[in-house]
A and B are shown apart, each in its own frame.
Chain A
């Protein structure tokens, strides 16, 4: 039933570690996104992929590397984690790109805490 799912839901790790967050959507959508929500609840887009191709990269440090093995999956790998990476990361998907009216459907979020 789940439309956009993320794993893990919670992630606690030490500075300097490398971690991955997985996202899957079963909506048949072409476009997927990663957003970061900071401690003040501010949400900002990080990446967007359309049919496995990167289309938006919002000046995110290159320690963050998204990977899309197929259009239903968009994973986020983070190298050398820093304290400032602590946040909630949301995955989202939309039917297609090319229309500002497209609704984006969000996953439940992954709460990352870097110690």
Chain B
């Protein structure tokens, strides 16, 4: 079975300061990992994904995440927060269910707040 734990339900940063959203996972297989962002009253947008290629993954809007197998972590970072980054962020692990469908398991989400 797979699971995802987002260690912080809320993170507050000042505009222009770094962002760190933490994620730990467990998976029986070599996982694929994703970060999705959900702006208020909107759908989910893919930020980036890890699929066993480079361990440092670059995504959209200046976000990146590093896959660390030894720590079972996939933390999301951004050097400098922007007001438009305020949203809910979901760390997601993907698993093949009986080779018949990839199933996403979502973390509980981290709400990022950006102060001016």
Q: How many A-B residue pairs have CB under 8 A?
A: 72
A85-115 CB mask vs B (1 if < 8 Å, else 0) is 0000010101001111111111111000000
B101 partner residues in chain A, CB cutoff 8 A: 31, 48, 50, 55-56, 97
Q: Does A44 contact B (CB under 8 A)?
A: yes
With both beta carbons as reference points, the residue of chain B lying nearest to A54 in the complex is identified as B101
Contact assessment for B95 and A90 in the assembled complex, using a CB-CB cutoff below 8 Å: no
The B interface, classified by DSSP as helix, strand, loop or mixed, is strand
Q: Which of B44-52, B65-73, B76-84 lies on the face that meets chain A?
A: B44-52
Q: How large is the interface on B (under 10, 10 to 19, 20 to 34, 35 or more residues)?
A: 20 to 34
Distance to closest chain B CB from A28 (angstroms): 17
Q: Does B104 contact A (CB under 8 A)?
A: yes
Offer 24 A-B interface pairs, CB within 8 angstroms, sorted by A.
A41-B108, A43-B106, A55-B97, A55-B101, A56-B97, A56-B101, A56-B103, A90-B44, A92-B44, A94-B102, A100-B51, A100-B94, A100-B96, A100-B102, A101-B94, A102-B94, A103-B34, A103-B46, A104-B102, A104-B104, A106-B36, A106-B45, A107-B43, A108-B43
Residues of B in contact with A (beta carbons under 8 Å apart):
29, 31-32, 34, 36, 38, 42-46, 49, 51-52, 88, 90, 94-97, 99-104, 106, 108-109
Closest 9 CB pairs of A and B: A101-B51, A106-B44, A43-B106, A108-B43, A100-B94, A55-B101, A100-B32, A101-B32, A48-B101
